[in-house]
Amino acid sequence: MGVLADAWTWLSTGSNWSGESGAWHRLGEHVYVSGVALVLACAIALPIALWLGHLGRGGALAVNISNAGRAIPVFAVLALFMLTPLRSAGYTPTIIALVLFAVPPLLTNAYVGMREVDRAVVEAARGMGMSGGQVFLRVELPLAYPLLMTGLRSAAVQVVATATIASMVGQGGLGRIITAGFNTYNTPQVVAGALLAALLALLVEGVLVVADRLIDPRRRGKGRTRPGAVRPRRSPEPLKP
């Protein structure tokens, strides 16, 4: 409990939050790097996974290739990028490494979600005269949404947690607080930096859970009447004698 109390003292000290090396600045760097990496990973993985899942061809190969990429350590990729001219391009090496790390869960979950849609439902939608685009937007995508969001939450938490290794090659983020604590043998600072990274990951998870409930197409569709449908009439109440 002594280390946790000392870490709380570090976190409650205002001077540790100000300046370029303060916690607020490091937190902003961490959020920026993680957010950019996650957006780029979504822009790469989701269109490919959804398209291949809709077609039903080539997805297994893409998933296997992306899963094989998980065997490559992120720190090794980051260290290799630091040996290239990209090392002078700011956060670019860190962002690229995190994108490669976030693509597999996004690609896998989105593709599996599309392929697990009941084929009978898809064929029924086509039998009703829906085009391929309508089947994708109104049938497949809403039914694949739960697994898609699971992959997004998993990738987001992994990216936020892994972004701390950027400090090992001189990049910013909350990892700089941890490495600075190691360099000065300041254990409370190390624990405080780790707590901040863990709390940020939990906050991101909570925000995505709330967003999931707000934008879930299945929840939004409840209680609505389809165009042209007739609302059932309430049966008249019996007359009292």
Query: Over the stretch 24-42, which tens digit does the pLDDT of each residue have?
Result: 999 999 999 999 999 999 9
Could you list the residue range(s) of the whole structural domain that residue 192 is in? 17-218
**For residue 1, is it within any domain?**
no
Q: What CATH number does the domain containing 124 carry?
A: 1.10.3720.10
Number of domains in the chain: 1
Q: Please answer whether residues 108 and 67 qualify as being in contact, where contact means their C-beta atoms are separated by less than 8 angstroms.
A: yes
Cβ-based neighbour number of residue 223 at 10 Å: 6
Q: Helix 187-215 to helix 23-55 angle, to the nearest 10 degrees?
A: 40
| Averaged pLDDT, 56-75 | 76
Render pLDDT for 161-201 as a digit per residue (tens, 0 to 9): 999 988 877 778 899 999 988 888 889 999 999 999 999 99
**For residue 48, is it within any domain?**
yes
**For residue 150, is it within any domain?**
yes
Ranking 54-58, 119-123, 153-157, 228-232 by mean pLDDT, the lowest is 228-232
Strongest mean pLDDT among 85-89, 119-123, 124-128, 182-186:
182-186
3-state secondary structure 167-201: HHHCCCCCHHHHHHHHHCCCHHHHHHHHHHHHHHH
| Averaged pLDDT, 72-84 | 76
**For residue 2, is it within any domain?**
no
Q: Is 56 left (phi over 0), alpha (psi -120 to 50) or beta?
A: left
Write down the pTM of the prediction: 0.83
Q: Please answer whether residues 152 and 140 qualify as being in contact, where contact means their C-beta atoms are separated by less than 8 angstroms.
A: no
**For residue 6, is it within any domain?**
no
